[in-house]
Structure 1
Amino acid sequence: MCAWRLPTDASCASVARSLLGIAMTKLGLDRGATDDAVLAASELATNALTHSGAAAPPELWVWARTTPRPQLLITVYDACRASWPTNTPGDLLDDHGRGIGIVDMLADAWGAHPSRSICTGGTQGKAVWAAFPLPGPWPDPRTTAPPMLAARHLTATLTARGITNTAHRHGRGVSLVTIPLGSNEETNIWIEPGHLSYTLPNGTRHRRPIVDLHDTTETLVQHIETQRGTR
């Protein structure tokens, strides 16, 4: 996983293009997929700069996931929840608002949800993401990690993003991370050597490979912020 703080000036999009291009070249990813992802990151960064405000600078996040299929996730965070992206520009001759349309054409999928910053201590805002296919051997769903290490990493990441009172406990071959949601609700994440599982308060149960730890963290942050926003 990579996370970068982007500049709050006109260089925002070009810096996002450069950072992502370098990262994808280092990973040896296909040039066609790289070009599409870099263009999408540029459009997302441009939109974020428009709405980031003074609370926190935009951020570029990159990680891989295997669920629902192997994909590279390109996300741009901004600190504004008053404005949300749409793919319906009003005037077909007006370039304003076309960025999400470009992302929609390039990516497998895209979306937006409430989130918290990674680089600036958990400032509340939103994440706008785009997913691109990864047809090669990376990420490998068989990737494993000691449950204790994964649990500590998950707890530290959530705490750094302002999700407080998160606790972890450890047994033989399994670790448990408990995240309070407020109003006497909590979510438990069970971590074993090859996978993690959790059930959300709405009753949906999820089981994912350990390599999806970063994407799972963002899913949990999204759920927590959505829950808090409805109270």
Structure 2
Amino acid sequence: MTKLGLDRGATDDAVLAASELATNALTHSGAAAPPELWVWARTTPRPQLLITVYDACRASWPTNTPGDLLDDHGRGIGIVDMLADAWGAHPSRSICTGGTQGKAVWAAFPLPGPWPDPRTTAPPMLAARHLTATLTARGITNTAHRHGRGVSLVTIPLGSNEETNIWIEPGHLSYTLPNGTRHRRPIVDLHDTTETLVQHIETQRGTR
């Protein structure tokens, strides 16, 4: 975290939030898959450190209920809400167990600028292969990628005969979801983009 420019206080806040999220996951998660801790940085909507805990239980969702932060139980999300810029939860899939369905609970912390280093990027072909492999490992099958001169295309099935194309060019990627929302993000946001796509797929499946 210090390499991202976080001072000691901000680092302590992030570590405490991670501990609270992990404790909640261990307390409430099902036995389908063990909880997982994910940490990455993103630039959109602004430079942030994202701490996420996955668990395989969708029957229980976190809420920030009023209470005494000194209580021994039920205070975890209240602490996260107090420490983080923002927090939330959404349907997701495991990274480590072949895409077991579950949920991701996350907390975001501001990163001081300037970030990222403009040299922090990857060639389009490498980014496309990484995106395809990551989605496949998480159970999103039939994902395909093609490559041209200076651009790569990843096609992702979204279900119900829908798909989306991720155009990856030097320095950035772009895509449009079936609901018409357009996204353009730097390649350094590839991890966060992957999670956004998994969230969309799982949310759509939950509404059918």
Taking structure 1 as the reference length, what is the TM-score of the superposition?
Answer: 0.85
1:138-153 to structure 2, matched below 5 A, reads 138-140=115-117, 143-153=120-130
- In structure 1, distance between residues paired with 2:113 and 2:14: 16
- In structure 2, distance between residues paired with 1:114 and 1:169: 29
Query: 1:182 — aligned with what?
Result: 159
- In structure 1, distance between residues paired with 2:129 and 2:106: 26
1:225 aligns with 2:202: yes
Q: Is the 8 A contact 2:67 2:75 kept in 1?
A: no
Q: Is the 8 A contact 1:77 1:127 kept in 2?
A: yes
Aligned partner (choices 152, 174, 182) of residue 197 of structure 1: 174
Q: CA deviation at 1:27?
A: 5.4
Q: Is the 8 A contact 1:116 1:221 kept in 2?
A: yes
SS at match of 1:34: helix
Instruction: Classify 1:176/1:25 alpha carbon distance in 2 versus 1 (closer, same or farther; 3 Å).
Output: same
Q: CA deviation at 1:29?
A: 3.2
Aligned partner (choices 74, 91, 110) of residue 87 of structure 2: 110
Instruction: Classify 1:110/1:206 alpha carbon distance in 2 versus 1 (closer, same or farther; 3 Å).
Output: same
Instruction: Classify 1:54/1:121 alpha carbon distance in 2 versus 1 (closer, same or farther; 3 Å).
Output: same
Instruction: Classify 1:30/1:192 alpha carbon distance in 2 versus 1 (closer, same or farther; 3 Å).
Output: same
| Worse overlay, 164-173 or 135-144 | 135-144
Q: CA deviation at 1:141?
A: 5.1
Q: CA deviation at 1:25?
A: 4.8
SS at match of 2:44: coil
| Worse overlay, 49-58 or 216-225 | 49-58
> How many equivalent pairs are there?
208
Taking structure 2 as the reference length, what is the TM-score of the superposition?
Answer: 0.94
Q: CA deviation at 1:100?
A: 0.4
Q: Is the 8 A contact 2:165 2:176 kept in 1?
A: yes
Q: Is the 8 A contact 1:141 1:209 kept in 2?
A: no
Instruction: Classify 1:93/1:43 alpha carbon distance in 2 versus 1 (closer, same or farther; 3 Å).
Output: closer
Q: Is the 8 A contact 1:147 1:193 kept in 2?
A: yes
- In structure 1, distance between residues paired with 2:116 and 2:56: 30
Q: CA deviation at 1:28?
A: 5.9
The two structures, once aligned, show a CA RMSD in angstroms of 1.7
SS at match of 1:157: helix
Q: Is the 8 A contact 2:6 2:112 kept in 1?
A: no
What percent identity do the matched residue pairs reach? 100
Instruction: Classify 1:166/1:108 alpha carbon distance in 2 versus 1 (closer, same or farther; 3 Å).
Output: same
| Worse overlay, 133-142 or 57-66 | 133-142
Q: Is the 8 A contact 1:142 1:194 kept in 2?
A: no
Instruction: Classify 1:191/1:164 alpha carbon distance in 2 versus 1 (closer, same or farther; 3 Å).
Output: same
Q: CA deviation at 1:136?
A: 3.8
Q: Is the 8 A contact 1:40 1:106 kept in 2?
A: yes
- Deviation string 1:127-181 (CA, Å, 9 cap, x unpaired) is 0000001104442355322111100000000000110000001111111101101
Q: Is the 8 A contact 2:4 2:111 kept in 1?
A: no
| Worse overlay, 191-200 or 139-148 | 139-148
Q: CA deviation at 1:91?
A: 7.8
Query: 2:13 — aligned with what?
Result: 36
For structure 2, the residue ranges without an aligned partner over 5 or more in a row are none
- In structure 2, distance between residues paired with 1:130 and 1:90: 20
SS at match of 1:191: strand
- Deviation string 1:11-65 (CA, Å, 9 cap, x unpaired) is xxxxxxxxxxxxx356563111100000000100010001222111111000000
Instruction: Classify 1:134/1:93 alpha carbon distance in 2 versus 1 (closer, same or farther; 3 Å).
Output: closer
Q: CA deviation at 1:97?
A: 1.9
For structure 1, the residue ranges without an aligned partner over 5 or more in a row are 1-23
SS at match of 2:193: helix
Q: Is the 8 A contact 1:155 1:167 kept in 2?
A: yes
